[in-house]
Amino acid sequence: MARAYDVIEVERKWQRRWAEDGTYEVDADDPRPPWYVLSMYPYPSGPAHMGHVRNYTFGDLLVRHRTMLGYAVLSPFGFDSFGLPAENAAIKTGTHPRIFTDARIAELKESITSLGAVYDWRREIRSHDPEYIKWNQVIFQRLLAAGLAYRANAPVNWCPGCKTVLANEQVLPDGTCERSGDVVVKRDLEQWFFRITEYADELLAGLDDLEWPERVKTMQRNWIGRSEGAEYDLVVAGRDGTDGRERMALRVFTTRPDTSFGMTYAVVAPEHPMVDALTTPEHQNEVAELRKRAAASTDVERMSESGPLSLAKRGAFTGSSVINPFTNRPVPVYVADYVLMGYGTGAIMAVPAEDHRDWDFAQAYGLPVVRTVRPPEGWEEHGGPNGGPGGAYTGAGEKINSEWLNGLDITTATAKATEWLEAEGIGVRKINYRLRDWLISRQRFWGCPIPIVYCPDHGIVPVPVDQLPVLAPDDVQFLPTGESPLATNPQFLNTTCPLCGGPATRETDTMDTFVDSSWYFLRFTDPWTPDQPFDPDIARHWMPVDQYIGGIEHAILHLLYARFFNRALVDLGLAPAGMREPFAHYYAQGMIRMDGTKMSKSKGNLVAPSSYLSTVGADALRLFHLFVGPPADDMDWTDQTDSVIEGCGRFLDRVWRLAVPAGEAVPLLQEGPLTPKDLEVRRATHRLIDRVTRDFERWSYNTAVAACMEFVNLLHPYARADGQAQVLDEAVDTLLLLLAPMTPHLAAEAWEHRHGDHVHLHPWPVADPELAAEESVTMVVQVNGKVRDRIEVAPDISEAEAEALALGSAVVMEALGGRSPRRVIVRPPKLVNVVV
């Protein structure tokens, strides 16, 4: 497609200039008000893909727009450069991951630059940079000292594909690895954890004040999963205590202490430590069988076994009973795998009448049901599944069969039952969370080493801060054994104990790469400080991030970890006090799909931006991404997409011809009174400013672009025929200023032709309300809600005038056909509705 200007040359020219002139390099002593915009730093996997283009187009628009509004805009960029792909490539090709990664970074950086996106590159961060590794390790030591990092033996998620353990957040709901798709298995291993649960309540409460998409906040709330209830002891019938207590007791957690009178049995998880003690000799085989099966089954198998039929296979009677303290009557104890060891106390009081799972189990095992909440009328006939009889009733209602709770509502009864438990010394009020501590150990090479030494005499010894960073050796072999080269490298493994100088071994695991991304936004504020991760006072100047942009796939993972880390760093005194939330606004842009699936390297359905950059150019591609639809929506890349991109290029050509006319342009009037057409163009100019400014504020870029297109459609005939020079100049200059954040190259080049200076250094235009005011508006006249006539009226027309005009309309009179209006609705100056 032949273009009106040399797109490639012009774009290259401005990209070079922006890199040289330092317009977008800002420092904390800048007198302008600070504003921090950040796109999630990417894993460097080579040249930018379409998702990057989309993401960085929004980010760059904000940088340029906010700069024109007079802010000192902090816009850094970096690379989340640790991770498995580089290590896998090393195994395949023998190239060291650093060499591989640095090459991918160079490619990505180059393609980001060729989009015309501007950053303060002095602040660039690479996770694998020794300096960044050092501060990562220093922070680890500080967390360790504060008790927020610890080592523990726990059943953890092992991904056989990635050959490493994973955090809970990195396992998909179906039990597969979010990265490789392999089925994750449970293993008991000694691993490093960060105590994120310490902040569970705060992480939950903090969500309320964040201007984030509601669905993201909901996802985090679900993930944290707070539930309020009570924990209490069930004394085991006829058994003495083994741990010094007089009686053996089973502790249970419930959110419904009010239903305690309806407990007809109790359940312990198969992994519960008391199972052996509870199991009588005659039930041992049955219980052992169940425990074996539970231990062997993956989460996926557990899922596929749901349903009442399989429930029968998943429980076993222990032979013991516990005393319900509310009724003083014994109930049987079962082992069942629908109770999880990892939540609450790993044991429950079962109330089939008011819990669906307990109901199903009770049905399968013929256990009794005692209602403690009066179900609604007709419940026993068709309250159950598919309208069948009975079923658990979990709704509100009056307490029954509950002695001193009878007649109360659920809330009051819950409070009273909890008070009673505490008064009797049987139990306590308790809040439980679904959130678990963050497992950060990874059995991989290409990550930040955990700076720990194991000494036979001193145990776990942190590497002293003055010896950091602990770096992985370069001289290692990458073999497809699945084992990290660190684990078998004697020169790395063998060291001396920092305390006693005796022989010791190093920790060979590295940190989850989500650790790197949990504080990089803080490091960006001050990446030069030599003696701390960043200066808290400088961080305070820029933080929190005013606008964070990134994909919805990080709704839980990265965004939750970063919120935790930020708080921990504040509490450690590393980050500014009081600055607990790192991201004030977060915008989740939609993903690009092709043939119904996410466009990605692994799906093999990538469309390379480079082919567009070398043909239609960066501006047209950027404009396309802004124009195609709301940024939060997913977009489908189809056969027709190329035509739309070309249409964007066509629009830019039209702007160019308007702004930089070729020789034979029609000379316009230089002065004289303004005609109605002149006034219309001037009005449109000021209305456009208003429109685009408001659309930018609400992320409605598609309508902002549409408004500009409409404006250009108005200006072209005007410029050809009947224009007044000053009016046209104001119109075109305004248009270029408004386009400057969206299509920066075109705007810069055209502006330079017209004025010789830089469009991006000009302030954002402000609409003059007087010039924008309409001198007449079209008033719609309806009869019974149907449009019958349109009349041009003054914007400040009175109700009486509007009504008179409408009723006087020939069309209306005809429609009325002599009938007199029953009612006339007048909404000046837009509408009159005559009702007959």
Q: Which of residues 542-601 bind RNA (CB under 7 A)?
A: 556
Enumerate the β-bridge partners of residue 583. Answer: 545
| Shortest distance (Å) from residue 601 CB to RNA | 19
Contact present, 443 and 164 (Cβ < 8 Å) = yes
Site string for RNA, 152-191 (x = CB under 7 A): ---------------------x------------------
| Shortest distance (Å) from residue 413 CB to RNA | 14
Q: Does 477 bind RNA (CB under 7 A)?
A: no
State the pairing for strand pair 329-336/247-254. unpaired
Of 780, 794, 807, 816, which one interacts with RNA (CB under 7 A)? 780
| Shortest distance (Å) from residue 407 CB to RNA | 23
Of 76, 83, 229, 375, which one interacts with RNA (CB under 7 A)? 229
Q: Does 264 bind RNA (CB under 7 A)?
A: no
Q: What is the DSSP string of 263-331?
A: --EEEE-TT-TTHHHH--GGGHHHHHHHHHHHHH--HHHHHHT-SHHHHGGGEEEEEEEEEETTTTEEE
Round to whole Å and give the CA distance between 54 and 625.
6
Of 346, 391, 550, 765, which one interacts with RNA (CB under 7 A)? 346
Q: Does 709 bind RNA (CB under 7 A)?
A: yes
| Shortest distance (Å) from residue 707 CB to RNA | 8
Of 44, 85, 116, 344, which one interacts with RNA (CB under 7 A)? 344
Considering only the stretches 200-208, 250-258, 366-374, 376-384, report the one whose residues sit in contact with RNA under the rule CB under 7 A. Answer: 250-258
Round to whole Å and give the CA distance between 152 and 197.
15
| Shortest distance (Å) from residue 709 CB to RNA | 4
Of 35, 77, 338, 393, which one interacts with RNA (CB under 7 A)? 338
State the pairing for strand pair 441-442/452-455. unpaired
Q: What is the DSSP string of 528-565?
A: T-SSSSS-HHHHHHHPSBSEEEEEGGGTTHHHHHHHHH
Is the Cβ of residue 255 or residue 726 nearer to RNA in the bound state?
A: 255
Round to whole Å and give the CA distance between 181 and 444.
18
Tokens standing for 275?
A: 């199972």
Q: Does 437 bind RNA (CB under 7 A)?
A: no
* Residue (of 744, 745, 716) closest to 728 by Cα position: 716
Site for RNA in 50-109 (CB under 7 A): none
Is the Cβ of residue 139 or residue 230 nearer to RNA in the bound state?
A: 230
Of 285, 306, 467, 614, which one interacts with RNA (CB under 7 A)? 306
Of 627, 696, 718, 751, which one interacts with RNA (CB under 7 A)? 627
Of 155, 790, 795, 800, which one interacts with RNA (CB under 7 A)? 790
| Shortest distance (Å) from residue 164 CB to RNA | 21
**Site size for RNA, by CB under 7 A?**
85
Helix pair 676-697, 725-739: axis angle to 10 deg: 10
Contact present, 470 and 449 (Cβ < 8 Å) = yes
Considering only the stretches 55-63, 108-116, 744-752, 780-788, report the one whose residues sit in contact with RNA under the rule CB under 7 A. Answer: 780-788
Tokens standing for 448?
A: 């930040």
The backbone region for 255, taken as left when phi is positive above 0, alpha when psi lies in -120 to 50, beta otherwise, is alpha
Site for RNA in 350-369 (CB under 7 A): 355, 357
| Shortest distance (Å) from residue 101 CB to RNA | 29
Tokens standing for 742?
A: 């969206």
Of 149, 635, 735, 797, which one interacts with RNA (CB under 7 A)? 635
Is the Cβ of residue 337 or residue 619 nearer to RNA in the bound state?
A: 337
Considering only the stretches 17-25, 74-82, 303-311, 515-523, report the one whose residues sit in contact with RNA under the rule CB under 7 A. Answer: 303-311
* Radius of gyration for the alpha carbons in the chain, expressed in angstroms and rounded: 34
| Shortest distance (Å) from residue 584 CB to RNA | 21
Is the Cβ of residue 458 or residue 654 nearer to RNA in the bound state?
A: 654
The alpha carbon torsion through 90, 91, 95, 99 (nearest 10 deg) reads 10
Is the Cβ of residue 596 or residue 672 nearer to RNA in the bound state?
A: 596
Site for RNA in 807-836 (CB under 7 A): 823, 825, 827, 830-831, 833, 835
Tokens standing for 344?
A: 């609450």
Considering only the stretches 8-16, 575-583, 639-647, 668-676, report the one whose residues sit in contact with RNA under the rule CB under 7 A. Answer: 639-647
| Shortest distance (Å) from residue 718 CB to RNA | 10
Round to whole Å and give the CA distance between 321 and 335.
12
Burial of 269 (0-12, 13-18, 19+ CB in 10 A): buried
Considering only the stretches 7-15, 335-343, 412-420, 575-583, report the one whose residues sit in contact with RNA under the rule CB under 7 A. Answer: 335-343
Considering only the stretches 367-375, 677-685, 734-742, 776-784, report the one whose residues sit in contact with RNA under the rule CB under 7 A. Answer: 776-784
φ, ψ for residue 805 (rounded to 5)?
A: -60, -45
Tokens standing for 489?
A: 């490298």
Of 190, 457, 537, 710, which one interacts with RNA (CB under 7 A)? 710
Of 194, 199, 253, 520, which one interacts with RNA (CB under 7 A)? 253
Q: Does 666 bind RNA (CB under 7 A)?
A: no
Of 269, 323, 522, 747, which one interacts with RNA (CB under 7 A)? 269
Of 16, 93, 218, 395, which one interacts with RNA (CB under 7 A)? 218
User: Does a cis peptide bond (omega within 30 degrees of 0) precede residue 829?
Assistant: yes
State the pairing for strand pair 427-432/227-240. antiparallel
| Shortest distance (Å) from residue 780 CB to RNA | 4
Considering only the stretches 273-281, 522-530, 604-612, 623-631, report the one whose residues sit in contact with RNA under the rule CB under 7 A. Answer: 623-631
Amino acid at 746: L
Round to whole Å and give the CA distance between 159 and 161.
5
Round to whole Å and give the CA distance between 700 and 366.
60
Helical segments of 114-165, H only: 130-145
Considering only the stretches 21-29, 190-198, 252-260, 457-465, report the one whose residues sit in contact with RNA under the rule CB under 7 A. Answer: 252-260
Of 54, 65, 142, 314, which one interacts with RNA (CB under 7 A)? 314
| Shortest distance (Å) from residue 472 CB to RNA | 33
Is the Cβ of residue 91 or residue 780 nearer to RNA in the bound state?
A: 780
Round to whole Å and give the CA distance between 317 and 540.
60
Of 80, 337, 546, 749, which one interacts with RNA (CB under 7 A)? 337
Of 31, 244, 785, 817, which one interacts with RNA (CB under 7 A)? 785
Round to whole Å and give the CA distance between 339 and 317.
14
Site for RNA in 2-21 (CB under 7 A): 2
Is the Cβ of residue 240 or residue 823 nearer to RNA in the bound state?
A: 823
Q: What is the DSSP string of 21-51?
A: H-TT---TT-SSPEEEEEEPPPP--SS--HH
Long-range contacts formed by 295-298: CB under 8 A, 24+ apart: 295/270, 295/271, 297/337, 298/175, 298/183, 298/184, 298/185, 298/186
Round to whole Å and give the CA distance between 797 and 718.
30
Q: Does 647 bind RNA (CB under 7 A)?
A: yes
Q: Does 403 bind RNA (CB under 7 A)?
A: no
